[in-house]
Amino acid sequence: MNAIIRDVDRDDAGAALARVVLEGDLSKLTPQEKVTHYNATCQSIGVNPLTRPLEYIRLNGKEVLYARKDCTDQLRTLRKVSVQIVDRVIGDGLVIVTARASTPDGRHDEEIGAVPLGNLQGEARANAIMKAMTKAKRRVTLSICGLGFLDETEIDGALAGQPREVPNLAPAPAPRVVEDQPEFPFLTMAGKEVLLSADKWRASLAKALSALHDADTLSEWRAERGGLLARIYEAGAEELVADAERAIDMRAAELLEARA
């Protein structure tokens, strides 16, 4: 992990940090800057970027990082955080779980995890209760570590009621005079790289995303194509890359909601 971080260009890291601090929106970063920012964030909190402890997601018009299970699991081990469930209340259609965290230096913190039960019964009710426990444990882990990330279990609630930003994947109107159209690399599901026009590239991306039905699989698919998007961006097709990022974010949000 340290070898990967050491390879990050210091000037690139400074440019990425300036964009995040001044604008507060990670979508403003180029694909290369996102990789730099991601690795620098992982380094700063001590987690291994190769395990994908964090993920990008678009919330309230901005792109932010949220913490996955791998992140809180690593933090508890690295910082010797002990967590225990100290209370569980079921009432008014909710299950509310309180978790307490402690560290070897004597610090303590508490957080809750609340999940609606509604009319759930049987296995669905049990799963909701377990989700509340998981939510409380992960939230208190991030809290006692002084991190303000959203946890993976909080993404569903944060997305509720949020207007969806629909990316423009429709083919652009054909120009009156068709000359040599630029082509861009596209990595097929079979792992073969092909060159496509912008219109065909967008259509192929939409088809590929519709074939992905699991958030973890989508995350791996996205990571494999990070370098390819960086090459397209460097070729001057910033709009194509921005459309792709929005489409992937929207599909990730849909899969996370479906998994809840």
Model confidence over 15-41: pLDDT tens digits? 656 656 666 668 777 888 788 888 888
Q: Which of 96, 123, 144 is the last residue of a domain?
A: 144
Percent of the chain with pLDDT over 90: 21
Are 44 and 85 within one domain?
Answer: no
Reduced to 3 states (helix: H, G, I; strand: E, B; else coil), residue 84 is: strand
Rounded mean pLDDT of 169-178? 44
* 55-64, 100-109, 174-183, 208-217, range with the lowest pLDDT: 174-183
Instruction: Give dist(CA 120, CA 129) in Å, integer.
Output: 10
Q: What is the DSSP letter of 225?
A: T
Q: What is the DSSP letter of 190?
A: T
Q: Give a yes or no: residue 131 inside a domain.
A: yes
Task: Copy the structure tokens of residue 47.
Answer: 């987690």
pLDDT of residue 176: 43
Instruction: Give dist(CA 236, CA 187) in Å, integer.
Output: 19
Q: Give a yes or no: residue 85 inside a domain.
A: yes
| 143, burial (CB in 10 Å: exposed 0-12, middle 13-18, buried 19+) | middle
Reduced to 3 states (helix: H, G, I; strand: E, B; else coil), residue 104 is: coil
pLDDT of residue 39: 87
pLDDT of residue 89: 92
Q: Answer whether residue 105 shows pLDDT above 90.
A: yes
Percent of the chain with pLDDT over 70: 80
Q: Which of 12, 35, 62 is the last residue of a domain?
A: 62
Q: Give a yes or no: residue 114 inside a domain.
A: yes
Measured from the Cβ of residue 46, the count of other Cβ atoms closer than 10 Å reads 13
Instruction: Give dist(CA 110, CA 141) in Å, integer.
Output: 9
Q: Give a yes or no: residue 176 inside a domain.
A: no
Rounded mean pLDDT of 227-235? 81
Q: Give a yes or no: residue 90 inside a domain.
A: yes
pLDDT of residue 16: 58
Are 58 and 96 within one domain?
Answer: no
Which residues is 67 bridged to in the sheet? 54, 151
Are 91 and 134 within one domain?
Answer: yes
Q: Encode 78-97: b = buried (16+ Cβ within 10 Å), e = exposed.
A: ebebebeeeeeeeeeeebbb
Number of domains in the chain: 3
Question: When comparing pLDDT for 198 and 96, which is higher?
Answer: 96
Are 193 and 253 within one domain?
Answer: yes
Q: Give a yes or no: residue 167 inside a domain.
A: no
Q: Give a yes or no: residue 174 inside a domain.
A: no
Are 206 and 252 within one domain?
Answer: yes
Are 122 and 57 within one domain?
Answer: no
Q: Give a yes or no: residue 13 inside a domain.
A: yes
Are 107 and 49 within one domain?
Answer: no
Which residue range is the domain that position 29 belongs to? 2-62
Are 53 and 117 within one domain?
Answer: no
Are 57 and 91 within one domain?
Answer: no
Q: Which of 144, 172, 196 is the last residue of a domain?
A: 144
Taking only the tens place, the pLDDT of each residue in 123-146 is 888 888 888 898 999 999 999 999
* 23-32, 65-74, 201-210, range with the lowest pLDDT: 23-32
Task: Copy the structure tokens of residue 12.
Answer: 């690139």
